[in-house]
Amino acid sequence: MTPLVPMIEYEAAGAEVRAVFDDIMATRKSDWINNFWKVLANDPATLKRTWESVKQVMAPGALDPLTKELIYIAVSATNGCEYCTYSHTASARAKGMSDAQFMELLAVVGMANETNRLVNGLKPPVDPQFEPR
Amino acid sequence: MTPLVPMIEYEAAGAEVRAVFDDIMATRKSDWINNFWKVLANDPATLKRTWESVKQVMAPGALDPLTKELIYIAVSATNGCEYCTYSHTASARAKGMSDAQFMELLAVVGMANETNRLVNGLKPPVDPQFEPR
Amino acid sequence: MTPLVPMIEYEAAGAEVRAVFDDIMATRKSDWINNFWKVLANDPATLKRTWESVKQVMAPGALDPLTKELIYIAVSATNGCEYCTYSHTASARAKGMSDAQFMELLAVVGMANETNRLVNGLKPPVDPQFEPR
Amino acid sequence: MTPLVPMIEYEAAGAEVRAVFDDIMATRKSDWINNFWKVLANDPATLKRTWESVKQVMAPGALDPLTKELIYIAVSATNGCEYCTYSHTASARAKGMSDAQFMELLAVVGMANETNRLVNGLKPPVDPQFEPR
Amino acid sequence: MTPLVPMIEYEAAGAEVRAVFDDIMATRKSDWINNFWKVLANDPATLKRTWESVKQVMAPGALDPLTKELIYIAVSATNGCEYCTYSHTASARAKGMSDAQFMELLAVVGMANETNRLVNGLKPPVDPQFEPR
Amino acid sequence: MTPLVPMIEYEAAGAEVRAVFDDIMATRKSDWINNFWKVLANDPATLKRTWESVKQVMAPGALDPLTKELIYIAVSATNGCEYCTYSHTASARAKGMSDAQFMELLAVVGMANETNRLVNGLKPPVDPQFEPR
């Protein structure tokens, strides 16, 4: 399928977009830009804001970067976002995710989606023990 | 709200349900059963299958139990399952999740839900670099 | 929680709304209107269109009315719509749904939600055998 | 992928389907029928009901037709419906949506999906100020 | 698209996977394995657990197997899982689903998704008549 | 229900949180902070990033602020986020949304959710006419 907006290549990009592209490559120590950023580049403000948010959120912090990629895959598989599943699975593998970890991740995602619906259909009240203190 | 089926208490449960309840408490080293299992107990086969699946999936393996709880919360918050969010947040805290880890988890969940929809609306093609070898 | 628009009671309704309310009660052989229709009545055209669609879609046809209610619950539990789950569970029970059928329904809904996400995360290609002839 | 039911072309359609197809083309001042209606035509009653509902709902009213197309895209991108995203983006462009409006629309859709999940994970109570009077 | 993990063919499979594949073919009285199981086979424990759960859940019980397939399609179409929609539509047709039943099923799925959102936006309180006794 | 993290009130907040709270009130010309920001304040970096993103995204641009609020409600009702639906309905009303506009908005949201699922179940191919040039 054709993307719904053109993909802006580095060569054709204006200064504002190039600055973001440069920062993406520098941060990731890579020499290419993936298609997600090329379509976002149609709106430089959204490109810049989204990249800065992703960079901040995915940086090492209280959770390590691999765990964050696993969470990203969990959400993307729950929502059925194909591009996101491919791109974040690739990122997670680059950060060391093993085949066994990937399969276990999906097993948890599957169970959570199953029990979420058993709960939605049966409506047990939240146990007082689960209320935050 | 009233649950859509009665909650089966241990005292009123048959042998098959009691055996599952006993295994839940033994596995978790706890002395109570949360409401999710009490509503499932209306169908002992589903109760037993679901518990054995959850026990297998959430056991330590290639991913540690806390990481699995984080993934469970990520799915539950994405789906908007209130009971599941409360119960797995409590479980994650019992396994050591800090406040900073919880907030970072939700930041990742939020970003993933945002970028999933930017992708859905713009439809960038999957980069060949992301294809599994 | 307060509904986001007023609930229009029969006594306060105009002729267009009353005509729909009368048809709902006649069709269902009941003497009351549930809250869903009372909030929709703020827009008589939407009330009329929605009721006529529901009446047509839920009428006996190639599928019997109980099967249709089961499908409605399956969708509502998947989406986490609380009001819809309560109202269609009540309708299904009124049409003869047994406790065993309800529990089995939710077991199928749970499994489907689980395997949907295993598929989303692993992306098996559609087998040629599954393509419609 | 093959559609799951045959596509009914105008030439092969019965009188009931042709009447709907004619009305679609007359209403839209176009000379072709898109594939959505051709698959729906396998069930003439559903075709007719769905078209009449869409025609009523998307007509100018308290909201203008372009705003309605923007809302349709917002829902379709949130749900990840590819066909719907392509078809309603084309409709919105035909009604005058600019590239800047499309990118801003998706920025809002992305933010809403993000904050929806921050809310689902943190569960702030609804402020009394937000309750309808 | 390439699947995100290799597809494990029968010939290359270990004993544990072959045992599950044999049971799938024996239970279904078929002589081939569809791609879903081949990707799951990368994790024999998940393959075995998922197959045994599906076998138990989809067996005749309080609901007949065709009704269960209809419910599976309803969930898969709601979630937008393409593979699942193709595979369970094929299964339902093999169990006797007519074209008219398929179209009616989707009409119900569509209406349920529509009214779920009317409810989400208007928030009518659950009528006391719908509360389970 | 208790929120899953404490609500940080202005009086108890640190300088970084107070600065964001001050900017929220100044931007909105209001004198109170709603609970969403109070729970986010447990992570000042997420509070600041989310507020700045919302402020940028919801500002007047190619789309007017009321249209943006309508889109926000459309997404929130699709996802079933109760808090978000209440808060953005209140915002939209403050920006001039009429009752008729609100009802029409939800009618479009409902139709889009319905036709999204008819598409998911029937899988019509994207018409070449809908491909972007």
Is pLDDT of A126 > 90? yes
Q: Chain F residue closest to B117 (CA)?
A: F75
Mean pLDDT of F8-15: 98
- What mean pLDDT, rounded, does chain E reach? 97
Contact E85, F123 (CB under 8 A): yes
DSSP B96: T
Query: How high is the pLDDT of residue D12?
Result: 97
CA neighbor of D91 nearest in space, from B117, F132, C112: F132
Question: Is the distance from CB of F65 to CB of F59 less than 8 angstroms?
Answer: yes
C45 touches D at CB < 8 Å: yes
> CA-nearest residue of chain D to A5?
D99
What pLDDT does residue B61 have?
A: 97
Q: Give the SS3 label for residue A68.
A: helix
Find chain C residues with C-beta within 8 A of F99's C-beta.
5, 42
Contact at CB, F112 and D82, closer than 8 angstroms:
no
Say yes or no for a CB contact (<8 Å) between B118 and D111.
Answer: no
Instruction: Tell me phi and psi for residue A73, to 5 degrees.
Output: -65, -40
Residue indicated by tokens 């719908």: E130
- Please judge whether E131 and B5 are an interchain contact, meaning their C-beta atoms are less than 8 angstroms apart: no
pLDDT of residue B133: 77
Rounded Cα distance between E43 and A109, Å, is 15
ipTM above 0.90 for this complex:
yes
Interface test with E, best of A83, A98, A106, A123 (most E CBs within 10 A): A106
| Confidence (pLDDT) at E55 | 98
Q: How would residue A58 be classed by pLDDT, with cut points 50, 70 and 90?
A: very high
Using DSSP's 3-state secondary structure scheme, residue B31 falls into coil
D109 CB neighbours in chain F (<8 A) are 71, 75
Q: Residue E133: what pLDDT?
A: 77
- The answer to whether the CB atoms of E110 and F118 lie below 8 A apart is yes
- Substitution target in A83, A86, A103, A115 with the highest count of E β-carbons within 10 Å is A103
Out of D78, D86, D115, name the one closest to residue B117 (CB): D78
CB of F85 within 8 A of CB of E123? yes
* Sequence-separated (6 or more) residues with CB below 8 Å from residue A43: D100, D103, D104, D107
Per-residue pLDDT tens digits for B56-109: 999 999 999 999 999 999 999 999 999 999 999 999 999 999 999 999 999 999
Contact, A89 vs A121, CB < 8 A? no
Contacts of C77 (CB under 8 A, 6+ apart): A117, A120, A121, C85, C106, C109
C132 → closest Cβ in D2, D57, D132: D2
Separation of CA D80 from chain center: 12
Contacting partners of chain D (3+ CB pairs under 8 A): A, B, C, E, F
The minimum CA-CA distance between E103 and chain D, rounded to whole Å, is 6
Give the residue-averaged pLDDT of E55-82.
98
Share of chain C above pLDDT 70, in %: 100
**Token match 């789309």: residue?**
F63
Average pLDDT, chain A: 97
Q: Give the CA dihedral B27, B30, B35, B37, nearest 10 degrees.
A: 20
Q: Are B20 and B37 in contact (CB under 8 A)?
A: yes
Taking the Cβ of residue B25 and every Cβ of chain A, the question of whether any pair is shorter than 8 Å is answered with: no
Among C1, C40, C119, C129, the residue to mutate for chain D (most D Cβ within 10 A): C1
CA D27 to chain CA centroid, nearest Å: 16
DSSP 8-class letter at B129: G
Confidence of residue A1 (pLDDT cuts 50, 70, 90): confident
Q: Give the residue-averaged pLDDT of D17-24.
A: 98
With 0-12 / 13-18 / 19 or more C-beta atoms within 10 angstroms meaning exposed / middle / buried, residue E15 is exposed
Helical (H) or strand (E) element with E79: helix E65-79
Closest by Cβ to C107, choosing from B4, B46, B81: B46
Question: Could you give the percent of chain E with pLDDT greater than 90?
Answer: 98
Other C-beta atoms closer than 10 Å to the C-beta of E65 total: 15
Subunits with at least 3 CB pairs below 8 A relative to chain C? A, B, D, E, F
Decide if C5 and D132 are in contact by the 8 Å CB cutoff.
yes
Whether the CA torsion F31, F9, B86, A62 is positive or negative: it is positive
pLDDT of residue F1 exceeding 90: no
Query: Which residue in this structure is represented by tokens 């006391």?
Result: E128
The verdict on C84 touching E (C-beta cutoff 8 Å) is yes
Taking 80 as the threshold, does the pLDDT of residue F123 lie above it?
yes
Q: Which residues of A touch E39 (CB under 8 A)?
A: none
Q: How confident is the model at residue A133 (pLDDT cuts 50, 70, 90)?
A: confident
Q: Which of B35, B81, B112 sits opposite A125 (nearest CB)?
A: B35
What tens digit of pLDDT does each residue of D84-109 get?
Answer: 999 999 999 999 999 999 999 999 99
E6 close contact with C: CB closer than 8 A: no
Residue A75: pLDDT band by 50, 70, 90 thresholds?
very high
Give E-chain residues touching B49 at CB under 8 angstroms: 53, 56-57
Q: What percent of chain A has pLDDT over 90?
A: 98
Q: Which of C114, C116, C126 to mutate to test the interface with A (most CBs of A within 10 A)?
A: C114
Q: Return the residue in F88, F117, F119, F123 with the most chain E beta carbons within 10 A, the one to mutate for interface testing.
A: F117
Tell me the one-letter amino acid at E69. E
Average pLDDT of C28-36?
A: 97
Chain C closest-CA separation from residue D127 CA (Å): 11
Whether F130 contacts D34, CB under 8 Å:
yes
Flag if B4 and C82 touch (Cβ within 8 Å): no
Reply yes or no on whether the pLDDT at C133 is more than 90: no
pLDDT digits (tens, 9 = 90+) for F14-27: 999 999 999 999 99
Domains, chain E, with CATH or none: 1-45 (no CATH), 59-119 (1.20.1290.10)
F10–chain E nearest CA distance, Å:
31
Chain F touched by C43 (CB under 8 Å): yes
**Average pLDDT, stretch C26-49?**
98
Token duo for residue A51: 């990249």
| Percentage of chain B lying above the pLDDT 90 cut | 98
F52: number of Cβ within 10 Å: 15
pLDDT tens profile F24-75? 999 999 999 999 999 999 999 999 999 999 999 999 999 999 999 999 999 9
